[in-house]
Amino acid sequence: GENVEQHPSTLSVQEGDSAVIKCTYSDSASNYFPWYKQELGKGPQLIIDIRSNVGEKKDQRIAVTLNKTAKHFSLHITETQPEDSAVYFCAALNQAGTALIFGKGTTLSVSS
């Protein structure tokens, strides 16, 4: 079935360092890849997304890259801050275009 693998499951960085989270997807027909941030006790919130017609997208300290040939995409956070500490989920739209398939999440801890 359709699957999204996400690595690492936990990531600890020092404030100011960069963080990279990687995901691979199984369905080559997927064409939409969002990233969500979930803070403790809250619902996931979209932070950035990318469609298959572009290879990279940036929004201030956050960027996402997509390699369709290899079927993987990554989230890059630069100059990390303690408030970036959260669980991050990647997702890919399923082949039918009806639902998102989520990775299992990465817990990012940024220490000051």
Partner 1 sequence: NAGVTQTPKFQVLKTGQSMTLQCAQDMNHNSMYWYRQDPGMGLRLIYYSASEGTTDKGEVPNGYNVSRLNKREFSLRLESAAPSQTSVYFCASSGVQAGTQYFGPGTRLLVL
CB nearer to partner 1: pick between 33 and 85 = 33
Q: Which of 77, 93, 108, 110 binds partner 1 (CB under 8 A)?
A: 93
36 is an interface residue for partner 1 by CB under 8 A: yes
CB nearer to partner 1: pick between 103 and 110 = 103
Q: First CA to last CA across the chain, in angstroms?
A: 41
Nearest CA-CA partner of 88 in 74, 78, 68: 74
The tokens describing 68, both together, are 């369709």
- What's the distance, CA 85 to chain centroid? 14
Pairing status of strand 100-102 against strand 106-111:
unpaired
55 is an interface residue for partner 1 by CB under 8 A: no
**Interacting residues with partner 1 (CB under 8 A):** 6, 9, 31-32, 34, 36, 42-46, 49, 89, 93, 97-100, 102-105
